[in-house]
Chains A and B, each alone.
Chain A
Amino acid sequence: MSGWSPVNAWLPLIVVGTSLVAAAGIFLLKEHRHGLRTVFNLSAAVIKLGLVIWMALGVLDEVAFETRYVLVDGVSFILRADPLGIMFTGLSSLLWLFTTIYAIGYLEDAPNRSRFFGFFSLCVASTVGIALAGNLFTFFLFYELLTLSTYPLVVHRGTEKAMRAGKVYLAYTLGGGAVLLLGVAGLHALVGEIEFAAGAGLRDLDTALNPVLTLIFVLLVIGLGVKAALLPLHGWLPTAMVAPAPVSALLHAVAVVKAGAFGIVRVVYDVFGIEFTWQLGLLQPLAWLACATILYGSIRALWQTDLKRRLAYSTISQVSYIVLGTALFGPVGTVGGLVHLLHQGLMKITLFFCAGNYAETLGVHRIDELDGTGRRMPATSVAFTLGAFGMIGVPPLAGFVTKWYLGIGALDTGMAWVIAVLVASSLLNAAYFLPILHRIWFRPQRAPWPDEHFRDCRDTHPWLLLPTLATATFSLAAGLLAGMPFSPLYWAEVVVLREYLP
């Protein structure tokens, strides 16, 4: 590790800190200082993205970036940039930039913007902290901070409905947090500090402890599964749809569900180690759970009439692809899961941006109101179409890459039935996305738009449109250019090659 220098030891902390500082600054700003707040927001986002790119290049060169600090005896606070962490950090910082731009446009003239953007920044700080956490304890720290910082965003509108959603959200996430804490504390008591590293020595333990370790694994997966919206624990996600669109985008594509899925990846690969998890016989049930969630989410999505709720169930289904990839015992499947971490983020955020655009520009919320929107808002509709095709897995879009790798991975492991699940899921995806596309492009407008704004814009307000187009472009490029360096696939392969090749 030749590139070791004092700056490198601070860099992970600085990356987390940029959003923290931004949050503090925004909290202190008076409500009406819009200009200054925008400067704060955007400069923090840009600086962070720059730092992350720098760190990413360093990581490719195998430079170590690590902040380490003893919290109390036997427990350290560790932030470290490893390839997997950088992958998630990069996604969050990139999407944060776009979401911030989008949110500034979306919330124009809305009340409580200081509070909103303050917690928004805090939320991103937590996500980046989760990504860079170097041990389970640090991970948990930021995982709970994420819960706390997203609550005010969920209830932002302050309506009775939002409050109820907030209550449900808290009940799920705090409960999940408690279970996770039990797991983390139990593991800590058993083996001491657990740093993230492939097969962190658990397999050297006495085999008599295997039942305890299994229990701990279950606790961890339950705790993480709440945020990842795994099957019986997904209830909060559709309810949380009352939040403003940028929040939904953040919850679904970047922060919350991803944090859960990412945590499961960490637990399987970096805490228990994939081989040891396999030996404990835990991968198979995890795969079943993921498949069940995939199918369940897709089926429920079919019946939703509200656009955002349909997207929400679609998220439940899609996030489990990541879990499925993790549960496949083999490098190819792993690549599939990891790459979907990025792909799903790019595609889903595009879809939510579009849903937000429809709602803000035309007041359209329900799917049957979408007729003819393609003509009124062509750019948004193209972005939506790209996202939807990606989700279905039409080649050569991003979703296809994921499903291809997952399928090959499943064959490698001898779990051919997974292919059936993938196919079924793709059909279901098509079944709930294609009718929407049909309405957008091929049906004439039926009634006047419920609540039209921005009449003088060809499509919608540029602050809303530009981020949408940008993420759409990225998700397109992720599929088309999958073979190029620095594509999501490339990163996923780096991660697997470096660390997880069993």
Chain B
Amino acid sequence: MSTDLFFAWIGVALCGLGLFGFIVHHHLMRRLLAFNIMGSGSFLLLVGLAQDGRGPDPVPQALVLTGIVIAVASTALALVVLRRWYRVSGESSLPEDV
């Protein structure tokens, strides 16, 4: 197995793990952690699969760079809303989650 493929498999594991955490947790911080872990998993999958047996590929790497910035922007936005929500409600999880 190539390094690339191996880390693609790690990506699969992270996706599964992240999804589990995302659904199972109530606390919004934890859900965001899970979201970021799942995101990392998908990045590994993207680069790992694309490069497996074919050498470095700048395209998925660039996509991941874009993805990382988007992830940090989303996380930051979520944290801003979370802080505000905590401020007005005193809660750190959503009421009666669906």
Q: Do chains A and B touch in the complex (CB under 8 A)?
A: no
Give residues in B with beta carbon < 8 Å to A.
none
